[in-house]
Amino acid sequence: MGKFLSFVLCAVLLSATSTLALPTPLDGTVVVSNSSRTASGSATMSAIPASETVALASDDPNYVMWNTTATSDSSLQPVRVEGTSSNTMYLQPMRGTLGTTILGQQNMALQAQNPDIIAPPTTDSGVIPGGNIKWPMTLSPMRLQTGGWARQQNINQMPIATSMAGVDMRLEAGAIRELHWHKTAEWAYVLSGNMQVTSVDQDGRNYLGNVGPGDLWYFPSGIPHSLQATNEDPNGVEFLLVFDNGDFSDYSTFQLTDWLAHTPKEVIAKNFGTSLSAWDQLPGEELYIFPGNSPSPGAHVVEDPYGQVLNPFTFKMSNMTTTPLAGGSVKIVDSRTFPAATAIAVAEVTVEPGGMRELHWHPTEDEWTYYLSGTARSSSCLRFDLTLFVYAGDVGFVPATYGHYVENIGNDTLKFLEIFNTDIFQDVSLAQWLALIPPQLVQAHLQISNETIAGFNKTKQVVVGPN
């Protein structure tokens, strides 16, 4: 059936009755992705003429596939696979009348975790340019050291994510991530525990700061620094590092010990004005992460004739007032509140069950997302539409200007970080845009009622509540 015929069918249905029924999975109707509509049920909407150029959007709500409690449409339910435990249900590539079961090999655990990849909503289309837009840190190889570990995500895992890379790092109490520096800026968020960081800038001004869970630090490009866990938490610390280049690798930073292990001792002795024997115990290769004695949280910065860095390299984000929103809350930290952080900005977002980070985009900057807790369904749109489930510990990526949303589909608070390679956080809200232009223009595109448009809030909602 061609588009024209679909349009005629809709027009006939619309002219035959002043109300148009909206089939839902609840009334048992098999909902299809085209514009055929079934006149049954009780939901109504006012009869607005169909567009003269395209068919109407499908009424298929494209609910999540694991939502077995609410739907009576068996084709939307997970399928029991023969020979498996009777209370285990496995999602299959089936949605409505589309698709069928897998007969070949199946990784049941991964299928269950990714229902929207196995059975994409009918609204999905196209392919992702440049590979993954979700990467579970769980799949990144761990680099194990005495005293801690590290794992990373960069363009090797997500080729599309050229603007930022991330490292998840753990240090036991007292352990040190050795003195180092790199070409990228370094931004960090403490996931658990407490840290002490130190640095000296290009003008010889020094810095020493302490951070706890939910706090940040930032070191500009090329500025040397150290990271050490205190013993305020006996378990030490874990933190997320973000770098302003997707090419970054924690395997190729400049390390104090690596450099000196590769410098003639005669040169080292001359440089520091010492005897050769002063360097008898110099490590012969890099240390990277190694155990140490816990620094005192009350330690003072070394007396510096040049004074302290102009802007502190740490920020107590945990102590910042949260902005309450209809469906959650947000804290935004960029160079306006944390002046040192000129290359990375963050929004820490919480979304309560049923709430949603609204449809929006970021006008100039890519978003590197890190999920801290909860379960979300998210999709990005432009040249492709891909809906994904994301979990705590996953990294997401949304190219600049791509529209997206993040919906809390679990029972727990969803919390995540939106991170940008920029100095100022910015976003554009779809609802605010449509609330602030002439309503006739909105109506001409979307064929919605004046009342509906009048209800659009002129204030950016950021996180909306359950419908």
Ligand X SMILES: *[C@@H]1O[C@H](CO)[C@@H](O)[C@H](O)[C@H]1NC(C)=O
* Rounded to 5°, angle at Cα 358 from 354 and 360: 155
Q: Which of 52, 407, 418, 451 is catalytic?
A: 418
Residue 279 or residue 391: which is nearer to ligand X going by CB?
391
Nearer to ligand X, 283 or 297 (CB): 297
Q: Which residue of the chain is nearest ligand X when measured via CB? A: 70
Question: Rounded to an integer, what is the distance from CA 438 to the centroid of its chain?
Answer: 34
**Residue 52 labeled ligand binder:** no
- Closest CB 193 distance from ligand X, rounded Å: 17
Collapse the DSSP code of 131 into the 3-class scheme (helix H, G, I; strand E, B; otherwise coil) and give the result.
coil
Q: Is 262 assigned a ligand-binding role in the annotation? A: no
Nearer to ligand X, 80 or 143 (CB): 80
**300 marked as part of a ligand binding site:** no
| Residue 367 annotated as part of some ligand binding site | yes
Which of 131, 410 has the CB closer to ligand X?
410
**Least distance (Å) between residue 387 CB and ligand X:** 12
Give me the least distance between CB of 353 and ligand X, in Å please: 8
- Cα 137 from Cα 333, distance rounded (Å): 24
Give the whole-angstrom CA distance, residue 92 versus residue 82. 13
Residue 360, annotated ligand binder? yes
Residue among 257 and 461 whose Cβ is closer to ligand X: 461
* Shortest Å distance, C-beta 421 to ligand X: 27
- Kindly state the smallest distance separating residue 36's Cβ from ligand X, in Å: 4
User: Is residue 131 left, alpha or beta, with left meaning phi > 0 and alpha meaning psi from -120 to 50?
Assistant: left
CB of 353 closer than 8 Å to CB of 375: no
Beta partners for 403?
381
CB 393 within 8 A of CB 360: no
User: What's the closest the beta carbon of residue 223 comes to ligand X, in angstroms?
Assistant: 23
Does the annotation flag 404 for ligand binding?
Answer: yes
How remote is the C-alpha of 458 from its chain's centroid?
26
Active site residue 418: yes
Environment class of residue 260 by beta-carbon count within 10 Å: exposed (0-12), middle (13-18) or buried (19+)?
Answer: middle
* Closer Cβ to ligand X, 374 or 399, answer by number: 374
Burial 354-378 (b: 16+ CB within 10 A, else e): ebbbbbbbbeebbbbbbbbebbbbb
Instruction: Quote the tokens at residue 58.
Output: 């499908």
Query: What backbone phi and psi angles, to 5 degrees, belong to 328?
Result: 170, -135
**Alpha helix segments (H runs only) across 218-331:** 256-261, 265-272
Which positions touch ligand X (CB under 6 A)? 1, 6, 25-26, 32, 34, 36, 63-64, 67, 70-71, 97, 316, 319, 326, 409-411, 439-440, 450, 457, 459, 461
Q: Are 378 and 406 in contact (CB under 8 A)?
A: yes
- Three-state DSSP class for residue 139: helix
DSSP codes joined into one string, 57-96: PP------TT-TTT---GGGSPBPPTTS-TT--B--SEET
Binding-site residue numbers are: 180, 182, 186, 225, 360, 362, 367, 404
Binding-site residue numbers for Mn(2+) are: 180, 182, 186, 225, 360, 362, 367, 404
- Active site members: 418
